[in-house]
Amino acid sequence: MWQTGTTAIVYDDPLQPSVKIKQFRSAISKESMDHEVRMLRRAPPNICAALLHYEYPHLQLQRMDESLESFICRKQPSIEVLADIIDAVARKCMVFYASGMFHCDLMVKNVMLLYRTPQSDPLDFLIDLGISMIRNERLDALPRTPDSRDNEYDFCFFLYSCLCFCTYIFDDLYRHLSSFIPTIRRYFEKYHNNAQNHQWYLVGTLYKDLGWQITLAGS
């Protein structure tokens, strides 16, 4: 199976069924890949898909079964099932954030599921740490160093992507996330029209897709 993105192509290793290969596009520098490798190595155990080997422009990663995005589109899970997955991702994020890391691109396509058996609940793992950051580490791309404020934004970005892909149970999911909605709206109002202020300007795309529903539901 091939998956294409803006920075890389991901495909199954034909010789090793348990391995995925991430091949960076020629326009992506070795420094960018090295950054992702550094983040994967720094991440706490069992939070991200395991890094097995790397040599530019390839990463070898532990193979997962499907993304949360694919799972939602394929099965349209109930609010109870989705809430359990969100809670599991939240627990992993707490460990991730406690280590001083921020994902910066946390959405349903970057949460992968692994099934131990066909009947078991899936295990969830984070992937794609290409723009992840470390608290208090200065980056030229940002007007300030990341700090504890970014924990909240990072996770709200994930919750908003869940809303985007779960329109079939939007009302139920909105109620389940009701305590987060004011924070989600506050961040989007701050960032979605001002890409210069933050690296995570991708939220503007999501806002255009579903922002009107957030406005109506919150009014």
- DSSP for 174-219 reads HHHTTTTHHHHHHHHHHHTT-GGG-S-TTHHHHHHHHHHHHHHHH-
Residue 30 pLDDT > 70, yes or no? yes
- The pLDDT of residue 24 is above 60: yes
Whether 180 has a pLDDT exceeding 90, the answer reads no
* Predicted confidence band of residue 147 (pLDDT cuts 50, 70, 90): low
Min mean pLDDT across 21-25, 136-140, 169-173, 209-213 is at: 209-213
Please give the backbone phi and psi of residue 107, each rounded to the nearest 5 degrees, phi first: -150, 175
54 vs 40: CA distance, rounded Å = 11
Per-chain mean pLDDT for the chain: 81
Rounded to an integer, what distance in angstroms lies between the CA atom of residue 139 and that of residue 125? 26
pTM of the model: 0.83
Structural domains present in the chain? 2-62 (3.30.200.20), 75-218 (1.10.510)
pLDDT band at 203, cuts 50/70/90? very low
pLDDT above 60: residue 201: no
- What pLDDT score was predicted for residue 80? 93
pLDDT of residue 167: 86
Contact between 87 and 95 (Cβ < 8 Å): no
Element (H, E) at 87: helix 79-98
